[in-house]
Amino acid sequence: MDIGYARVSTAKQDLARQLDALAAAGISREHVFVDKKSGATTARPGLQDALRHARDGDVLVVHTLDRLGRTVRDTLNMVHELRERGVGVRTLADPLAVDTTEPDSPMAQLAFVMLALFGQMERTYAAERAAHARNVATANGRRTGRPSVVDPAKLEHAALLRANGATVREITTKTGLKRTTLYRHLPPRSPAAETGGSPPAY
């Protein structure tokens, strides 16, 4: 029996394309298991259900090989464990077809290893590009990451308190804002603004 497995990384992503491909391959919806979780974790209920459901002679079918795992080692280990149980793995949309039900085919084995490796390389390159973009943005004075959700009224109050000479501790107590938030959203107090020769608050 063919068992389908589909996965997206977040709840906001759509499984429709993978489910349509599995249906077109003749796999009944009742035999398709799904997850909306990152492939970085093996704690995926849908995958665990699919693995428990699989029996000797069954084939686990996925849209592409990276739906199973994010690293070459994880994917190889999973396929090896399935093979030991007599369960094959087949992909539907990879450029190099993977079908481990043909264990003696050198091309099938090569395709499997190459696709897993390319998937991991692409994720590594994507992470490096994202880190580079963040570094460039920071160097140019642009803030990166999630949009701020700090209450503007609290920031205005904090700025007023600081202008009146309040210390950081006093500001955090009166506004409820964290020190890191103050450092991030309020520009440093210039030495010229200090009186009495005391060091800047931050």
Q: Express each pLDDT in 110-162 by its tens digit.
A: 766 776 676 667 667 777 777 777 777 777 776 655 555 677 888 888 888 88
Mean pLDDT of 30-49: 86
From residue 74, alpha-carbon distances to 6, 39, 63, 111 in Å are 17, 10, 17, 16
Whether 163 and 119 map to the same domain: the answer is no
pLDDT surpasses 50 at 54: yes
* Cross-strand bridge partners of residue 89: 60
Closest CA to 167 of 196, 199, 143, 191: 199
Helix (H) or strand (E) holding 122: helix 106-139
pLDDT surpasses 90 at 109: no
Whether 181 maps to a domain, the answer reads yes
Whether 100 and 157 map to the same domain: the answer is no
Q: Let me know if 34 is exposed, middle or buried by CB neighbors in 10 A (0-12, 13-18, 19+).
A: buried
Whether 105 and 170 map to the same domain: the answer is no
Whether 133 maps to a domain, the answer reads no
Instruction: List active site positions.
Output: 9
**How many residues appear in the chain?**
202
Distance CA 91, CA 61 (A): 6
Mean pLDDT of 180-185: 80
Whether 11 and 66 map to the same domain: the answer is yes
Please tell me the predicted confidence (pLDDT) of residue 103: 63
Whether 132 maps to a domain, the answer reads no
Whether 106 and 167 map to the same domain: the answer is no
Please tell me the predicted confidence (pLDDT) of residue 132: 77
Mean pLDDT of 9-25: 91
Whether 84 and 175 map to the same domain: the answer is no
Tell me the two tokens of residue 182: 């103050």
pLDDT surpasses 50 at 194: no
Whether 85 and 159 map to the same domain: the answer is no
Whether 14 maps to a domain, the answer reads yes
Whether 138 maps to a domain, the answer reads no
Domain range enclosing 67: 2-126
Whether 158 maps to a domain, the answer reads yes
Q: Let me know if 98 is exposed, middle or buried by CB neighbors in 10 A (0-12, 13-18, 19+).
A: buried
Whether 87 maps to a domain, the answer reads yes
Whether 51 and 102 map to the same domain: the answer is yes
